[in-house]
Every structure is written in structure tokens, then in C-alpha cells.
Structure 1
Amino acid sequence: MTKELRILMVDDHPIIIEGYKKVLLDNRSDSYRLIIDTANTSDEANDKIETSINDSFYDVVFLDIGLPPSKNREISSGEDLGKKIRQSSPNTKLIVLTMFVQNIRLLSILKSLRPEAFMIKSDVTATEFLFAFDTVLEGQTYSSQTVQDLMRKQIVNDFYVDKTDRDILYHLSCGVKTKELPDVVPVSLAAIEKRKKIMREAFGVEDLRDITLINKARELGFL
């Protein structure tokens, strides 16, 4: 009997999703009964994940990290969606695909999501896409070459941008002054200053101006 696989593909570029679907349907529909849902926005993806929690969890989720925030900004990127999937459906296989290649950004994704497969879009061919899919279904993990190089060289430290750091960056980007941040972020001013200092060091930002930190955070995909 052909095994049924429920799949969600999330990417803000519909043409990319169509490519993913075609590769799977052309090459794996004889092996599996593929039920493929798609989402092009954080809100649409979140709705489908919420529905799956009350219905039937997805077996595999293909997730783009560089998604625009949700309308209410509760989801700032695909990384937040991945965290939600991890919490609500730990048995779902998570295949992360991203355009980010900065070491600190990749490390943040690895630490927060621990995806079964992690691929840089520019690395991926149809053959590699299928190999990663098969590898994950066999209960193993897969990383594309750029991610392998990162892990092998270990050229980043253990710094990790958490939700509080992201909230600090977001409110700074909205024009909130540092001295006003304790009103909107539940940590002390001293802790905020320390976090900003650590982020500047991790991002390689020597300029002490907030706008420089914000611009670098945006470049790295944290905003």
C-alpha cells in the first residue's frame, strides 16, 4: 500500500514552490501518495499549521526562513514558524531552505530549529533536493555544502540571537530610544545595553550608533 505523506511548502515566491512541487510529483509520486499544501506568507503558513494541530500534523514541512513578518508581527520570519512547528508537532520533519549565507545567521537557525535538512538555496539542485527528501524520510539528517562548511570550520561562536534580542532590534528600528526600551521589552536598561554590546561584537559592528546595528541586523536577516 502506498504511504500517504502530508507536506507543507512555505516560500514567499510562488514560482519556487511550483518548482519544489514539480520535482516531488515527477519523481516521488510512484513511491508516495503526496498531499501538498502551500503557503506564500507567514500568516497563511501559520493558519495551515494551526489547522494541522487540530486535524492531522504534516509529515514534512519545507520552510523558507526569509519570509516577511506576519501582519501582527508575532511571527517575524520563517524561523518563528519553525519554532512553532517544533513545539506543536515534534515528529514533523523540517526541511529548511534559505538564501542566507552569513555564518551567524545560519548558526542561529541551526540552534533554534535543529532541522532534519538544512540547505542553502543556491546550493540546491533537483537531484540534491530529492536526496535530502529521501534522507529525511529515512530518519537521517542532511545539510548542503555551505552548511557543512560552516559546521566543519566552526568559525562562529556560541552567540545566539534570541527573541529578546529580536524585540530590541525591532523596537529600535521603529524609532524607540534605548532608554525607552524597558517600557516595551521586559528587561532592565543595563541588560539591554549589554545585549546591544554583545550583538555589535557578534555582528562585527564597531560603530556605536543604533542605526548601524539596525542596518547590520537587517542585512543578516534578523529584522
Structure 2
Amino acid sequence: MVKILHVLGIDDHAVVLEGYHSIFSSLDISGKLKFTKAHDCRSGYEVIHRHKDTPFDIAVLDYSIPHFPERQLYSGEDMALLIREVMPSCKIVMMTMHNKVDVMGSILEKVKPEGFINKSDCSTIELMEGFREVLEGNSYFSKTVAGFVARKQSEVLLEELDIKIILLLANGIKTKNLSKYIPLSESGIEKRKYRIKRLLDINGGDEELIQKARALGYI
């Protein structure tokens, strides 16, 4: 009997799903490929339950997809958790444009995906490598995700507002002018900068802060 690789792709952009299909088709896999598409939480839910008896080998899920509130499914993360419940042997690759600490942290903690890719990190070649690694039983995290994991392990996690301050400084905005771009007073910004420097173990000025943040992958 010819082995079939069952792949599920969920994304609300048809062209993205076509791209995933093309990538899997180009991989050197033994057997045939069956690629199933869904465009939102509702169609994803229906597809997953139709395939209970023929579970997917790997699922590629976008984080931001239209909701299915009747089943309390609001994101790709919720769909991933559903897959973990219905077909626990299925490998999961999460795709996202988010770099928010809470979003990435929640996915890593609750879903524990075999692959986690920030779309802005990857070319087609890198996506091919990521999908191949997961199919071979390995984990694959793109640059943004790997950087987050490293910072989390070192217990150095900056909030989104902290990163925005650093980015503004890196773009040449002076501290006295930061309040034009973020909802904090100048004294509040100074306190925030002091906190950031303490977290990153920095004793110098803004330039050292920018260099350290860049080295850690925040910017």
C-alpha cells in the first residue's frame, strides 16, 4: 500500500495555502501527498472532525484566522489545541506575524508546537527547511521565536512598550521627545528606561542599551 502524507493547512489567504501546498509537493517524501485546506476556524473545525479516522500527519496553522464563536474557537492557537485533543499524533507548525510576548508565550506553553514560524522571518527556502525538519521528527523555530525562547530561558523578557522605546531610540528619537510617540510622561519614560537597563544588566547610556537589545534579538 502506498503511504500517504496527510497535511492540513489553515489560513484565510488562499495564496498562502497554495504556497504551502507547493512547498510540501516539492519536498522529497516517500509516498503521495494529500493536502487539505481550511480558511477559518469554522471550516477547520469541520475538516478536523471529518478526518478523525484518518488523522493528519502535520498541520500548518496561521494564528490570526476568522473566529467560530459557537465552538469557542478564536484563533489558530485554539485550532491547534483542538488538533492536540482529536489527533494527538499530528505534528503542528504555528505561523504568525505576531511578536507579542503574551501571544508567543501562550502558544509555546499551551500548544508546544513542533514548529513555530514568524512569517516575517522566512523565505520559501527556509519554510521548506522548517517543514522538512518537523516531518523528520525535529523541532523548528524561526529567528524571532528562537530569540524569544532564548530570552525566556535567561529570564530576560521585555514588554511590547519596552521594545517600542528601544526601537524609537535606535531610530534617533531623543528621550525628551519619546512622549510624542508613546503614552507616558518624560519621567515615566525615564523610569521605564531604568527598568529596562536593570533587566538587561546595562550600566551605560542609550547606545549601550540599543546594542544589547540588538544582540539579544529584540530589534
TM-score scaled by length of structure 2: 0.67
Question: Deviation above 3 Å: which 4+ runs of structure 1?
Answer: 29-32
Percent of residue pairs identical = 31
Kept in 2: contact 1:104–1:156 (CA 8 A): no
Distance 2:97 2:29 in 1: 31
Q: Structure 1, residues 4-49: CA drift from partner, whole Å, max 9, x if none?
A: 1001100011111111111222x12664411000001110000000
The alpha carbon displacement at 1:52 in A equals 1.1
2:41 aligned partner: 42
Asked if 1:128 corresponds to 2:126, the answer is yes
Distance 1:133 1:94 in 2: 10
Report the residue type matching 1:14 in the other structure: A
Asked if 1:17 corresponds to 2:22, the answer is no
Gap regions ≥5 residues in structure 2: 159-182, 185-219
Kept in 1: contact 2:27–2:132 (CA 8 A): no
Distance 1:127 1:8 in 2: 20
The alpha carbon displacement at 1:76 in A equals 1.2
Gap regions ≥5 residues in structure 1: 158-204, 207-223
Kept in 1: contact 2:76–2:94 (CA 8 A): no
Superposed, 1:81-120 pairs within 5 Å as 81-120=79-118
SS of structure 2 residue aligned to 1:140: coil
Q: Structure 1, residues 57-92: CA drift from partner, whole Å, max 9, x if none?
A: 000100011112115251111111110111111110
Cα RMSD (Å) of the superposition?
Answer: 2.0
SS of structure 1 residue aligned to 2:70: coil
Report the residue type matching 1:8 in the other structure: L
Partner residue of 2:140 out of 133, 142, 147 = 142
Number of corresponding residues: 157
TM-score scaled by length of structure 1: 0.66
Report the residue type matching 2:92 in the other structure: L
SS of structure 2 residue aligned to 1:36: strand
SS of structure 2 residue aligned to 1:75: coil
Report the residue type matching 1:121 in the other structure: K
Rg larger for:
2
Asked if 1:66 corresponds to 2:68, the answer is no
Pair 1:151–1:141, CA change in 2 (3 A): same
Distance 2:57 2:9 in 1: 11
More moved, 139-148 vs 123-132 = 123-132
